Amino acid sequence: MSDFDFDLFTIGAGSAGVRASRMAAAAGARVAVAEERDLGGTCVNVGCIPKKLFVYAAHFREEFEDAAGFGWSVGERRFDWSTLLSNKDREIARLNGVYAKLLDDAGATRIEGRARLLDPHTVVVGERRFTADTILIATGGWPSLPEVEGIEHAISSNEAFHLSELPRRAIIVGGGYIAVEFAGIFHGLGVDVTQLYRGPLFLRGFDDDVRTGLAREMRKKGIDLRFDSNVKRIAKRDGRIVAELAEGGSVEADLILYATGRHPLTLDLGLEEAGVELNPKGAIVVDEFSRTSVDHIWALGDVTDRINLTPVAIAEAMAFVKTVYGGAPTSPDHEDVASAVFSQPPIGAVGLTEAEARERYGEIDVYRSQFRPLKHTLSGRDEQTLMKLIVDRASDRVVGCHMVGPDAGEIIQGVAIALKCRATKAQFDATIGIHPTAAEEFVTMREPVG
C-alpha cells in the first residue's frame, strides 16, 4: 500500500479530468478529483452543449420562413427566452448528475472546492490536505477580456448563457468561432447583431474560401459584419451600451459580448512552487505523453493549450491512463483532427487548408464546388453551400476537406475517417454517392480548379 492518500489526484473535473479519473479508478487506482465549479467543465456548462442547444433554437426562425415554399402555413409565432433558458438549465443539471454518477460508480472520490498544490505531492482544498503519488492538472481555460476603457460593461460567453433577458441589439467583439457562433445565435433569436473584428477576415486558421464564404452568407442574413474594426472605448449612456470605434464612429446596443480569446486556468494553482513549467501564455508545458516538467505531474486539455476541443481532451485522457496505469506508453494523436463551427450556416473542416497544403507539398490540386442546396430551390432562400477538397498531387492523397453548409459537422465526421486512413482522390472518386444529398458532392468533384 502506498504511503500517499491517493494514487492519483486530479485537479479539474472537465472532459479530460473526468475521463482520466474514472478510467484510472476503473483500472484499480485510488483516485480523487477536485472541482470548484460544476462537473463537466466548459463543454457541459458554458460551452459545447448549451451552445448547440442555443443554435438549435436559433434555427427555427429560418425553418418557419422556409416552410411556406413547401406548402406549410405557419401561424403567429413568438420566442420566449426564459423558456429556452430554464430548459437548457434542466439539461445541464441532468448532465452534471451523469458525470457525478460516472465518477462515483468508478470508485473515484469527489471533492468540492478549489485545489492547489502545496508541494509536488500535496494538494490543498480549503483546510484539507491530501497527498498523491501522481497529480493531474485538468483545469481548462477561461475567457479573456482585453484592457479596454469601459470593459466592465462587457460580458463574456460565460455570462451569455445566463442572461436574464434577451437584448434587442447586441455587439459581438471577436473573430473566432465563439464570436461567430454567438452572432448567429443572437441573430436567429431576433436580435439585431453587429460583429466587430480587428483583422481583415475572421476565423484565422480556417481555409480562406471557408472564411470568405461564411462572411458572405452571414451578411446575406442581415448580420452587420465589420472587419478591420477596433473598439477604442465602451460607455454606458441612458441604459445603452455605446462602443466607440478606433476608426471613427460608434455602435449602440443593449449588450456587448467579448469573445476575443481564452487563457489557460493556471493562476494560483501552486504550479510554479511545485516546479511545473509554464509557457509565456500561462499554459502548462508538456511532452508528447502529456507529462509536465515534474516527473509525476501531468496535464491534459485546454490548460495545455494544444488543440482546445473536448474530444481531443478525452483522447488525451485515454492516452494518459494507458501510459500511467495500462503499461502501454501512448501519446495522443493530434493529426487530422476534425472540427466544426456551429455558425449559420455551419463549417466542417479536417486536414490542411489550401495555404498550408501549398506550403507543405508545393504541387497540389484543389477541387471546389459551390451550389444552392436542394431545399432552397423551394424555400427561395439565397444560401450557397461550399465544399472543397485539397489533394497532394504527388501521392493523390486527400489532405484537406472543408465545407460551409447545412450539416457540415455531421458530414465532415465521416470524411475525417477517410483522411485518417490516408484515402486518395481516386478512392473518393470510386465511392458511389448517396443521392440526393449534399455529401455526395465530396465524391463527385472531378475537375480541379485552376
The pLDDT-based confidence of 450 (bands split at 50, 70, 90) is confident
Q: Residues 126-154: what's their mean pLDDT?
A: 97
State the CATH class of domain 151-260. alpha beta
The pLDDT-based confidence of 170 (bands split at 50, 70, 90) is very high
- Domain 6-142+263-325 sits in which CATH superfamily? FAD/NAD(P)-binding domain (3.50.50.60)
Half-sphere exposure of 80 (CA within 13 A, CB side): 4
Distance CA 53, CA 81 (A): 12
Is the CATH number of domain 339-443 3.40.50.10800? no
Average model confidence (pLDDT) for the chain?
A: 97
Answer whether 381's CB lies under 8 Å from 222's CB: no
Instruction: Determine whether 78 is exposed, middle or buried from the number of CB atoms within 10 Å of its CB (0-12, 13-18, 19+).
Output: exposed
Q: Residues 260-283: what's their mean pLDDT?
A: 96
Distance CA 196, CA 235 (A): 16
Q: What pLDDT, in 10s, does the model give residues 327-357?
A: 999 999 999 999 999 999 999 999 999 999 9
What pLDDT, on the 0 to 100 scale, is given for residue 207?
98
Beta strands 128-137; 297-299: pairing state: parallel
Positions of E strands within 363-439? 364-371, 385-392, 398-404
The pLDDT-based confidence of 195 (bands split at 50, 70, 90) is very high
Q: Residues 57-68: what's their mean pLDDT?
A: 97
Distance CA 132, CA 222 (A): 55
User: In the 8-state DSSP scheme, what is residue 353?
Assistant: -
User: In the 8-state DSSP scheme, what is residue 431?
Assistant: S
Answer whether 98's CB lies under 8 Å from 18's CB: no
What pLDDT, on the 0 to 100 scale, is given for residue 1?
52
What pLDDT, on the 0 to 100 scale, is given for residue 346?
98
Going from the C-alpha of 52 to that of each of 32, 58, 181, 258, 400, the distances in angstroms are 31, 10, 9, 19, 25
pLDDT at 300 over 70: yes
Whether pTM > 0.75 for this model: the answer is yes
Q: Residues 407-422: what's their mean pLDDT?
A: 98
Q: Which three cell numbers stand for residue 89?
A: 438549465
Distance CA 94, CA 363 (A): 51
Q: What pLDDT, in 10s, does the model give residues 3-27?
A: 899 999 999 999 999 999 999 999 9
pLDDT at 177 over 60: yes
Distance CA 243, CA 169 (A): 12
Q: Residues 230-250: what's their mean pLDDT?
A: 96
Q: Which three cell numbers stand for residue 26?
A: 476503473
DSSP character string of 255-285: EEEE---EEES-TTSSHHHHT--B-TTSPBP
Domain 151-260 matches domain 339-443 at the CATH topology level: no
Catalytic residues: 435
Going from the C-alpha of 3 to that of each of 6, 108, 311, the distances in angstroms are 9, 18, 35
What pLDDT, on the 0 to 100 scale, is given for residue 28?
97
Q: Where are the domains of the chain?
A: 6-142+263-325, 151-260, 339-443
Half-sphere exposure of 291 (CA within 13 A, CB side): 13
The pLDDT-based confidence of 2 (bands split at 50, 70, 90) is confident
What pLDDT, on the 0 to 100 scale, is given for residue 134?
98
What pLDDT, on the 0 to 100 scale, is given for residue 120?
94
Q: What single-letter amino acid sits at 444?
A: T
Answer whether 315's CB lies under 8 Å from 333's CB: yes
